[in-house]
Amino acid sequence: MLFKDIAILDENFDCQEHRWVGVLGDRIDYIGAQAPADTEKYGEVYDGEGRLLMPAMYNAHSHAPMTLLRGYAENLPLQAWLEQKCWPFEGKMTGEDNYWATLLAGAEMLRYGTVSFSDMYYHTPERARAVEELGMKANLCTSPIAFEPKPIQEYPVFDEMADAIENIDGMAGGRIKFEGCIHAEYTNNDVTAKSVFDWAKERNVPLHIHVSETKSEVEGCRERHGGKSPVQWLESLGALDVPLVAAHCVWVDDGDIEILAKHNATVAHNPASNMKLSSGFAPVAKMLDAGVNVALGTDGMASNNNHDMFQDMYLMAMLPKGNELDPTLVTPKQAITAATRAGALAQGREDCGLVKEGFKADLAVLDVTGVSWCPVNDMLTNVVYAGHGSDVVLTMCDGAVLYRDGAWPTIDVGRVKFEVAERTVRIQSELSQGE
């Protein structure tokens, strides 16, 4: 595809008007102020009038199959939300339930300009099948919850992890990766956690873990581990010896932030979920100042309840200002970076997340002619504060158009919605009969 005379957010996230962008294969082949000499090789010419071309988004923390639980577990504190609603529901979910729910999550993400997600859940083969069919990218992990102090190799879940590292990591031409994981410190023990971290280090794969999401989690960790915070506990067991995505980090202190920065860890910031579950406000401005790679995530649909990363980007830029009474905190460029380039780096995708020649063609096109976009005094400010996921009119992953003007060419969205709705009804019926 050749994008003609279109505004772009360039590799520095500055807006450049009247650019031509050529996509060849899975990469951005040309960017210039004039049409390339050999326009024919790019195929379709896309008229860029009234459009903005920006990097597609990378969701750094999700639980995609939880689309089945959208609106199901409401107005509850975290532990009751987990133990009384989510875990019983998830216990009824089959592999096929996970497959259809992941297809729906992917369709929603594509609608809003997201091409890749880091997903912590179960039934990894079924999730991988959905991602492959969608044409998207994903970093998948299986999240053990283990209270008995024994190595992960002695738990049944290890079979899925071992199979995934052999058969799923690197599939779909590298679009799908597999990572190591524990659910969190408070749902594991030292022996099991250390064995997972060692396993990840031996296989040179990253880790993805919930970290310091709530105040009570941090207080409990300090009681259990001689005063150590969750971040200190992870460091002591070697979890930071490999690339780590630490989801949430709402209740980290200055010492924790220093550790995360020292080890080049990524914090997956989930502002909508953190507010909905009353977890608090993550100190993202301090993290950014310390050099931490802060990426953006939606979390699951029982705690958001949508995959519109524009909403989370808006909240990331807005909340620190109000919470810390400082209007200068978190610039539009920092928020956009978190939603795009930082998420790509968190997934180990070094050649993704920028509109730059030679990079993968992971792109989103926005219609910027709507009333909320007028006037454009500063395009970056409009993207963060005035834009919406519904402004996305085209989403491209590795050069393939996966969403365009209300259509998803790789899946039957009507069938997907039907399957998810029916399966949600079935599970709720099973739960009520069990009561």
Quick one: 168 and 45 in the same domain?
Answer: no
Quick one: 48 and 141 in the same domain?
Answer: no
Domain assignment present for 146: yes
| CB atoms inside a 10 Å sphere around CB 296 | 29
Quick one: 74 and 50 in the same domain?
Answer: no
Contact present, 315 and 272 (Cβ < 8 Å): yes
Tell me the residue range of the domain where 283 lies: 57-346
Domain assignment present for 413: no
| CB atoms inside a 10 Å sphere around CB 101 | 30
DSSP state of 188: S
Whether this model's pTM surpasses 0.85: yes
Query: What pLDDT does residue 42 have?
Result: 97
Quick one: 216 and 341 in the same domain?
Answer: yes
Quick one: 29 and 122 in the same domain?
Answer: no
For β-strands 114-121 and 137-142, DSSP reports them as parallel
List pLDDT tens digits, range 287-335.
Answer: 999 999 999 999 999 999 999 999 999 999 999 999 999 999 999 999 9
CA distance linking residue 249 with residue 272, whole number of Å: 14
List pLDDT tens digits, range 43-89.
Answer: 999 999 999 999 999 999 999 999 999 999 898 887 888 889 998 99
Residue ranges in the chain modelled with pLDDT below 50: none
Query: What pLDDT does residue 435 have?
Result: 56
Number of separate domains in the chain: 2
